[in-house]
Structure 1
Amino acid sequence: MFVDRKQLQEILKKANQHARKQAKESGASIYYIKNNRRIREDAEGNKFEIIFDLTGERQEFEYHE
């Protein structure tokens, strides 16, 4: 079975929506990279940028687009 670009984009969009829905229902965060920044989005939709300082400690800051 071959799919064209448009079909593939639709499949990926549906997979993304399904994964977000499952994470939200289970109270889990989702992690992704946007504009070269690590983002954690919690189940309520709050977004945080993840940064590691010079010592390797993880820090999170509220992310605004």
Structure 2
Amino acid sequence: MGFVRVSKSLLLNINKVDKVAMDLNMRMLAYLKNGEIIQINRSYKKQFNQVLTAYTERKESQ
């Protein structure tokens, strides 16, 4: 459950995400703990949200 596809050529380790935000053009951006910013492709946005929600709920229940 640690990795999620965010574009055709990129897998993202969900454990390394610091925060998620929308930019002015309503693109979803993932801010990583190392300072990198990753744009979430809109076709993968729903899947990313599902994985992030499950990860957050799982982390809070521990």
Query: Which interval holds the TM-score relative to the shorter structure?
Result: 0.3 to 0.5
Higher strand residue share: 2
Higher RCO structure (Cα 8 Å, ≥6 apart): 2
What is the TM-score with the length of structure 1 in the denominator? 0.36
Larger radius of gyration: 1
TM-score (ref. length: structure 2): 0.38
